[in-house]
Amino acid sequence: MRILTFIIFFSFTNFANASIISQIINNFESTENMKFNFVQKINGKVEEGKCTVVYPKKIFCEYISFYNKILVSNGKSLVINSDKNNQYYRYKLDKTPLNLILDKKFIISKLHQLKQDENYPFYYAFNLDYENNSIKVFFNKNDFNLIGWETIDIYQNVVQTFISDIQKNNSVNEKIFNIQRYIN
C-alpha cells in the first residue's frame, strides 16, 4: 500500500510540475518584448533601473544612478557605458550569461528538461547549466511571467536581477538597440 501511495504521489507531483512548466512556456512563447523595472544585486551592491527587452537577444537598460549608466545589446554585442569613468565596455554577447537569458527559445527548450528548484517558495525557480554558465531563472507563481535571474558575471560575482512592473508586447523603438549611440 505504501508503494502504491508513493507512486500515486510521485506521479501527481510530476504531472503538476509538467503543468506548471507548460503554463510558463505558453506565457513565455507569447512574449515578444517586455519593459520593466529592475533591482540588481552584485556582491551586496544594489542598482536599480528600467529595461526594455525585445526577443531575441536585444536589451536596453538605464540605471538610476549619478553616472548615467546604460547597458545595451543589439543581439550580437553588449555595451556598458557610464559617465563614472568616461569610458565604455564592449563584450561579445555570446560570451556573457545575458546571451542565454535573452534567448527565450533556449530557455523554453531547457524548461522541458528541468525540475523545479524547491528552495524558492515564493516563485518558480529553475537551474540552467550550459557551457560553463550557471543560470537560475525565476517565474511568478501567479501569472507565470519571468521575474528574474541569477548568474555569475565575468568577474565571478553572483548577480541577482529581479524585475517588476512588467509590460509585455508594446510598441518598441528599435533605435534604442543601436550600440553606436552609446560608445564614447
CATH number for position 104: 2.50.20.10
pLDDT band at 10 (very low <50, low <70, confident <90, very high): very low
pLDDT digits (tens, 9 = 90+) for 36-82: 999 999 988 999 999 999 999 999 999 998 788 999 999 999 999 99
pLDDT top residue among 165 and 12: 165
At residue 151, the pLDDT reads 92
Q: Within 13 A of 16's CA, how many CA atoms are on the CB side?
A: 9
Measured CA to CA, the distance from residue 50 to residue 156 in angstroms comes to: 24
At residue 18, the pLDDT reads 67
Instruction: List, as own/partner pairs, every contact residues 69-74 make where C-beta atoms lie below 8 angstroms and the sequence separation is at least 24, other chains included.
Output: 70/182, 72/176, 72/177, 72/179, 72/182, 73/98, 73/102, 73/177, 73/179, 74/177, 74/178, 74/179
- Grid cell of 20 as nine digits: 506548471
- Which residues does 149 contact at the CB level (< 8 Å), separation at least 6? 97, 101, 135, 136, 137, 138, 160, 161
Cβ atoms of 98 and 118 within 8 Å: the answer is: no
Measured CA to CA, the distance from residue 21 to residue 12 in angstroms comes to: 14
The domain tally of the chain equals 1
At residue 17, the pLDDT reads 54
Find the mean pLDDT for residues 8-23.
59
| Residue-range definition of the domain harbouring residue 67 | 2-182
Measured CA to CA, the distance from residue 61 to residue 19 in angstroms comes to: 33
